[in-house]
Amino acid sequence: MPRAAVAEAFQRWRAANPTPTTELEYGNGFQLLVAVVLSAQSTDTGVNLATRRLFPVAPDAAAMATLGEAGIAEHIKTIGLYRNKAKNVAMLSRMLLERHAGEVPDKREALEALPGVGRKTANVVLNTLFRQPTMAVDTHIFRVANRMGLAPGKDVVEVEKALLRRVPKEFLLDAHHWLILHGRYVCTARKPLCGQCIVRDLCEYRDKTD
């Protein structure tokens, strides 16, 4: 896509949804971090159902560490890979207490040093919590960027770097959310809803649906 078309696409997404945000439910930075860790290979809806049980009894790192791996697992057993996720959440809670006084760090290196936190999770936290212009490329964004010709790449890191280059600065803080929502509800994996797409005329996908 030409840069002018990229800018126009984001202008339309912003006009339709001026203040996009994550669909994960959270009450503080720690809860956002935990929710994103739990969301790996799970839906936001499923994670929200689990955290509505978990966060009232463990709202911060200290309470989560006290709850422990078994207690966490009991509250999140409805989501996939819950045993491993419970282990990671218990460990990252203790590490936050030991290294960061229970607070979520605002540096990528510190975030990625936490159990269960990879590049994508760190990018979500840096963007959503600290409002840094990062791009967390999940399966939705990877698909949209390649399908539309917005920022093609062979892997998620390549797409991330391409998006950071090609998305105009005025849209960078919210681009991550617009792209995820577009991929989740319009540019879906099996059959994109091109007839409902507000950027259809800008998109370079050849097999558009009605």
Q: Which residues are catalytic?
A: 120, 138
Token digits for 60?
């911060």
Q: How far from 180 is each of 88, 93, 100, 185, CA to CA, in Å?
A: 25, 28, 30, 9
Residue 169 CA from chain centroid, whole number: 19
